[in-house]
Amino acid sequence: MSGTTESQPTTRPPRYKMALLTWVGAYAAITVILDRLGPMMATWPLMARTLVISVLMVLSLTWVVIPNLTRVFARWLAPTPPATKRHRPSRLLSVTR
């Protein structure tokens, strides 16, 4: 038996929202990495710079940036439920005495 409970099915955020959030996180991560390490890596070969930047970016996005962004923007990410129709009794079927 797994440790998960079967309550309500989880719904995923729309892809465009996750793509936008990922882009914002990646932009911020790359900007910080280049700001902090760019001058030190300026003389490094391109392959070494790309390796360090990509590893740091993926690690920061996976365990720091995306979890925090999804927590902050949880309400925006949640898909809106479809509008429910109110049941109104038909006036034609009502019987008055």
Give the ranges where 42-95 is alpha helix by DSSP (H). 46-60, 66-72, 74-77
Q: Flag whether 55 is in a domain.
A: yes
Would residue 91 count as lying in a domain? no
| 4 in any annotated domain | no
Alpha-carbon distance of 79 to 86, in angstroms, equals 21
Q: pLDDT tens, position by position, for the chain (97 residues)?
A: 555 555 666 788 999 999 999 999 999 999 999 999 999 999 999 999 999 999 999 999 999 999 999 999 999 999 777 666 565 655 555 556 6
Q: Is residue 64 part of a domain?
A: yes
Domain count, the chain: 1
Residue 3 lies in a domain: no
Residue 52 lies in a domain: yes
Q: How far is CA 5 from CA 1, 2, 10, 85, in A?
A: 10, 8, 11, 30
**Cα distance between residue 32 and residue 58, in whole Å:** 13
- For residue 56, the enclosing domain spans 15-77
Phi-psi region of 78 (alpha: psi -120 to 50; beta: other; left: phi over 0): beta
Q: Is residue 32 part of a domain?
A: yes
